[in-house]
Structure formats: C-alpha cells, structure tokens
Structure 1
Amino acid sequence: MKVNIDIDNKYEETSVTIQAKEWTEDLEEIVKVIKKRKQQRLFGIDSDQTVLLDPHEIDFIYAEKRKIFATLKDRHFEIKMKLYEVEEFLIHHGFMRFSKSVIGNLNRIERFELSFNGNLCVYFQSGNKEYITKKYVTPIKDELIKGGQ
C-alpha cells in the first residue's frame, strides 16, 4: 500500500482520495477510521456522582428496563445514551454486539463455554459473565481469529 500526503496552504479543507483495484475489508476499516468523529467521552452515573469511564476497563454494556448500563468489575454505571450510540462509540475500542441488548469488550474476554442451546457463555477477566447469542457467535469468532484491531 502506498500513502501520499500533500500539505499545502492552498487547500481549504482536508480531503482523502483512495485509489484501489477493488473494495476490500482493509479499505472499509480505513474509511471507518477516517470518518470517525472526534471521540466524545463516555460518562457513567452511579448514585449521585458522574464518573468518566475508561472503555478499556468496561466488560460489557447492556440494556435493561429501557436504561443502558456499563459493567466494570463489580460495579454498574448507568449511561445516558442509546445502546446503538454506545456501540458506535465503542466499536473502535474492541467492542462487538453479543446480543440484541448487550455489547461486549472482546479485549477483556478470558474464556468461553458452549451452552446447551448454542449460545456462548463468555467469562471476562474480572469474573463477570455474559452470553453471546447464536446470531453473533460467528462474527465474534471471525473478529477474534483475525486479531481484533
């Protein structure tokens, strides 16, 4: 892959041109990174305090009773965002969808166990566990095989 960068005052704004023979997954990843907005911060609410959450410490995010929660070790923080917004924010931090209501951190997984119904039980480094539904097992397996980011 060849990269050309031309910095000059004559340009009003930054533009990116990609020239390729065909569309590939690598190009898709490059485009996602380029389009990524400036990272906003992820805040969690616990009792009366608001806490800045480090995505690398979050095991998983889940929806319950129309609220969104982040799980870190033995604590749960409410997040005032929609689940799909959190997913978009965290996708660049190694998170993937585990089920309709759960997004998990692939980088915090310690081990898996196959459930009798075809789902996977995921154990995190913190001791927490969550389930990956059948629909999401193959994409997660593929992501783990290719090494994540």
Structure 2
Amino acid sequence: LEKLLGSSFVRISKSALVNIRRISHVEASFNGTMELVMKNGVEEVITRSYRQQFKERLGV
C-alpha cells in the first residue's frame, strides 16, 4: 500500500499512514513521544519504531 500511495505518504505506526501535505504540525513532549496534528484536526501518535523514519522523510 505504501508503494501505491507514493512519496507523499509516510508510516507513523503499524496502523497509520499519513499524507505529509496534510500535516498541520508536530508536537514533541517532554517524555519523548511525538504527536502530529492533521489539518482536519485528527491527532495521531508517532510511535518510537517509526519516529526516525518520519524525521528523515521530513528532513528534521
């Protein structure tokens, strides 16, 4: 599925793929977790196992 969706999408957990263009902002908390907020208001947690891949795709 990831290959079909293309480079605009990135996996953030085993159960979630997000469109990079639809991310409003990303919030980092003091305990090391990261949460992203989509432009439509949906909030998702970026799991530890996908955090590094997410950062690399966004160039952070």
Q: TM-score, normalised by structure 2?
A: 0.79
**Cα 1:118–1:144 shift into 2, 3 Å:** same
Structure 2 gaps of 5+ residues are none
Are positions 1:88 and 2:3 aligned together? yes
Structure 1 residues not aligned, in runs of 5+: 1-85
Greater relative CO, 1 or 2 (CA 8 Å, sep 6+): 2
1:101 is matched with which residue: 15, 20, 28?
15
Residue identity in the other structure for 1:127: G
Larger Rg over CA atoms: 1
Give the Å deviation of 1:116.
Answer: 4.9
SS where residue 88 of structure 1 aligns? Answer: helix
Superposed CA RMSD in Å reads: 1.9
Q: Which amino acid aligns with 1:132?
A: I
- Asked if 1:113 is matched to 2:27, the reply is yes
Paired residues in the alignment total 60
Give the share of equivalent positions with the same residue, in percent. 37
| Aligned position for 2:52 | 138
- 1:131 CA drift (Å): 1.0
In 2, Cα distance between equivalents of 1:105 and 1:119: 20
Preserved CA contact (<8 Å) 2:8 2:20:
yes
How many Å apart are 1:96 and its aligned residue? 1.1
Question: Which SS does the other structure have where 2:3 is aligned?
Answer: helix
Give the 3-state SS of the residue equivalent to 2:12 in structure 1: strand
